[in-house]
């Protein structure tokens, strides 16, 4: 189930800032520490530090890419996080999030938007999230 969604202007840090905004609201509603599984694009020192500051445990895929010169990139996620069994579970659940976007592109209207402006694109995007949740409800009730 999709619990939050946000549309922003495309730039180098917009996704990370949107993630922090949505997770901060989710953390506040939960009233306790929560975990967030994210892909390796979110493995930056500032993003991981910001998540920890707002009470979110970042289960971010480690980005240890090798550069052309042979250097391995340093990850912001250390062994304290990756050694726990919950980290592996978060990584498998993260793949389910990508299914939401795949569904929206294949069955919804997210392949190529017909709208201009953040407000209209956001409305279309959130409508796709609602439709995905409606499709998922019978499958969740069957369990």
Residue 120 confidence (pLDDT): 96
* Cβ atoms 21, 5 nearer than 8 A: no
Residue 123 confidence (pLDDT): 95
Residue 89 confidence (pLDDT): 84
Of the candidates 2, 8, 18, 4, which has an alpha carbon nearest to the alpha carbon of residue 131?
2
Give pTM, 2 decimals.
0.81
- Cα–Cα distance, 41 to 28 (Å, whole number): 25
Give the pLDDT means over successive 10-residue stretches in the chain (143 positions): 90 92 93 88 91 91 86 83 82 82 90 92 94 92 81
């Amino acid at each position: 189930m999709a619990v939050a969604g946000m549309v922003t202007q495309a730039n180098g840090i917009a996704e990370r800032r949107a993630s922090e905004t949505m997770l901060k609201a989710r953390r506040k509603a939960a009233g306790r520490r929560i975990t967030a599984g994210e892909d390796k694009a979110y493995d930056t020192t500032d993003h991981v530090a910001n998540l920890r500051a707002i009470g979110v445990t970042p289960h971010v895929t480690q980005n240890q890419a090798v550069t052309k010169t042979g250097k391995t990139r340093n990850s912001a996620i250390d062994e304290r996080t990756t050694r726990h069994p919950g980290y592996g579970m978060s990584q498998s659940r993260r793949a389910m999030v990508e299914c939401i976007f795949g569904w929206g592109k294949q069955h919804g209207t997210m392949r190529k938007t017909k709208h201009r402006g953040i407000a209209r694109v956001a409305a279309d995007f959130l409508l796709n999230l609602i439709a995905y949740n409606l499709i998922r409800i019978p499958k969740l009730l069957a369990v």
